[in-house]
Amino acid sequence: MGKRRKIIKVIKVKKRNIIGNESNNKKYFLYIVVALLLIIFIIDNSSAVIKRIYPLKYKEFVFKYSYEYGIDPYLVFAVIKAESSFNPNAKSRKNAIGLMQITERTALWGAETIGIEEFTQEDLYDPETNIRIGCWYIRQLMNEFSNRIDLVLAAYNGGSGNVNEWLKNVEYSKTGQELDVIPFRETAMFVKKVKNYYEVYLNLYGEK
């Protein structure tokens, strides 16, 4: 009689284990299904997600003035993203202002050249004015550095005077035409960041 009770007890324990394993298996299966559905959703919507990270904000002004000054609009978007993350009220410690982080000196030069009347530094907080002057300035740098993007971006961040000096220094430029080393860490990081953003913008929105 005692042996019979032990056998029955063992059978009940095994039954509970089987039921428990089946329950765990169902949970694991459910987790796998949910994970697969999530992966499929991400793949199907990856482009939309990335476009939210790399937006085309203020595109009416970017396209208008980039075409007016003969520069790639996606380069302008990349500069804006790197400089201000599309915040028109951004202001740096060096008092660079707005979407494209333009300094007062550059802004006054640009405003006078392109004929913006009664210009003040506060106007740089206006997206259209900021983008207009920023695109004009990139065009000046492209003319100065023969459309070489690395030099243009280095000059945009570090100043064209510094870039010209670096090009004369064999420590930074072997050919005098390209920079092998950018001595300003911030400028080097800026150039790399904008070029990466530019590539993403071209892949997302450029002509296939």
State how far the Cα of 193 lies from the Cα of 201, in Å rounded to an integer: 12
Residue 173: both structure tokens together: 């430029």
User: Which pLDDT value is given to residue 207?
Assistant: 73
Quick: pLDDT tens for 4-32: 565 555 555 555 655 566 666 666 666 67
Structural domain for 28, as ranges: 1-53
State how far the Cα of 3 lies from the Cα of 111, in Å rounded to an integer: 101
Residue 72: both structure tokens together: 């790639």
117 lies in the same domain as 186: yes
Number of domains in the chain: 2
Arithmetic mean of pLDDT, 57-78? 98
State how far the Cα of 120 lies from the Cα of 100, in Å rounded to an integer: 16
State how far the Cα of 45 lies from the Cα of 71, in Å rounded to an integer: 31
97 lies in the same domain as 177: yes
Q: Is 83 a catalytic residue?
A: yes
Show which of 32, 53, 74 is a domain's final residue.
53
16 lies in the same domain as 101: no
Which residue among 22, 68, 83, 118 is the active-site one?
A: 83
37 lies in the same domain as 78: no
Quick one: which of 182, 183, 176, 208 has its CA closest to 195?
182
Quick one: which of 74, 85, 87, 83 has its CA closest to 106?
83
